[in-house]
Amino acid sequence: MRLDGSTVGLREFIQRSLDGPVMRELDFDLRLGRELRRLTSEYSIRFNPEDIICDDALADAIWQAALQLLERVGIYNVDSNRVVSLRREEVEAAAARAPKQFTVGEGKDAITIKARAHDSKAPPTIIALPARGFLRKGGIQTSVARMLDAHIPGTGPLGDLARKLKGELGDIPYLAETPGEMMWARAVVRWQRTIAGLLGKPGLWLGNAPATSPPAILACYAGDSLLNRFNSQIAVPLMPELKLNWNHLRLACAAEGMGVYRHCGTDPILGGYCRNSAETTVAVVASLLGQMAFTGDKNNLFLNVVDRQGNHTGRTPLQASSGARRAIERNLGIPMDGSQNTSNGLGTSLRLYELAALILAHTGSGWAWSWRGYSCGPGTEGEYKVDLDWKFVTRISRGVAGLSREKTNELLGRVLRLYEDQGAVDEGKPFSYYYDVRTLTPSGELVGLYDRVEQTLHSLGVPMGDMS
């Protein structure tokens, strides 16, 4: 095991997964919990209940505690039952190699993503992806995440494409870990590439493969190069609470070999091993730093925080995710993406207030870009991100970029009061209720809702940017 302070690298990380200390998973969990409690106390990490976005001193304390946590606990490989031990100097060296900017897309469709400070006047970059296909009740339906911030015209009817995709695959189900997942994933990417071409953007960034298992993900890169190192990335996120398995390292190895960016992130559950926002934000930063140890210098970061009820937009999840972004913004200065789900469904004002709070918190914490969208609650075919969302997100992020931390916290307090004591979730109505599924045109009812919510936010002092 190298102890010279140099970057660990993927090969060394794999080796430590094979010969590191043996430990039961339960014992690792107990050690993690104890160290989180100890470190948050040692570094006095406490959030002001009234503030979502923390100050510089707390952000720095989160960073230092995360480095200590990773050195004391390491990362657990649940397949080998071994701990990957990491020294602080190794982690810092790996983090220093992370890119301060990177380019996604190809040719005229390439976009360079740069890091942002929490009070930067430069707004985050919003990349709306072309429509994806999703399996719903035996058929294909469409979402309409389009490049509205660039005024891209509509693509016209997509029904023929959907029918062609369904006809190509017949009755083969889209089931994880089966050949059907590989076939569906490749077909969906072909569909995405076709739509990108119709939009006049053949080199458009497409994000991650629409699959979960390594064979299906890698199938999207085989043969006709549907996905490549310019238009995609491979997700290698850690499991919550500093754990991984061989699949994570397999994908990291494949991505390294193909020169594809590694999408590093984590989705901790607030209220589990991490009891509160203070412990959660330290675990998030430690997880991201740990991933940099085996993803080299071609990675980008995302993070989500959710509580045990599945809520991303409550006060404590927002504090935890914001604290992690601020710690990385101040101490690492690399681009971070972010998208989290709303609890309320499509066509509800409560969902849009949740979305506004997310964008305020993200933008005011150093958020640099987004491409994945903001999903609705489960009652509304949750994967859909409609085109009006991209416009809404873009207008808010452009309007609030450059605000001080104090002002952003003040606005967040006002927006949170619009939904945080709502009671039952409003599931809204399905996509087909609000959109003409042939022309992908929103109804006047839905357009009117977005207009009314924007007026309410404006009355609360939330500035809205333009789409020029």
Q: CA–CA separation, 386 vs 435, rounded Å?
A: 9
Residue 438 is predicted with a pLDDT of 62
Residue 146 is predicted with a pLDDT of 32
What domains lie within the chain, and their CATH numbers? 1-98+241-248+259-330 (3.20.20.460)
**Which phi and psi (to 5°) does residue 370 adopt?**
-150, 140
Could you tell me the mean pLDDT of each successive run of 10 residues in the chain, 468 residues long?
A: 58 94 96 95 94 96 96 96 94 87 92 93 82 38 33 39 62 78 84 78 86 90 86 88 92 92 82 84 93 84 81 90 94 86 89 95 93 60 61 92 97 95 83 71 91 97 88
Residue 319 is predicted with a pLDDT of 94
CA–CA distances in Å: residue 184 to residues 160, 176, 178, 188, 257:
17, 10, 10, 6, 24
Exposed, middle or buried, 438 (CB in 10 Å: 0-12/13-18/19+)? exposed
CA–CA distances in Å: residue 161 to residues 131, 185, 224, 387, 431:
11, 15, 19, 19, 18
- For 343-404, where are the alpha helices, taking DSSP H only? 349-363, 387-400
The DSSP bridge pattern shows strands 75-77 and 243-244 to be parallel
The end-to-end CA distance of the chain, in Å, is 54
Coil, helix or strand at residue 300? strand
The DSSP bridge pattern shows strands 139-142 and 369-370 to be unpaired
> If you count DSSP H runs as helices and E runs as strands, how many of each does the chain have, helices first?
15, 17
Tokens standing for residue 237 = 């996120």
Question: In the sheet that 261-266 helps form, which strands lie side by side, from edge to edge?
Answer: 125-126, 369-370, 336-337, 299-303, 261-266, 233-235
Residue 106 is predicted with a pLDDT of 92
Per cent of the chain over pLDDT 70 is 85
pTM: 0.89
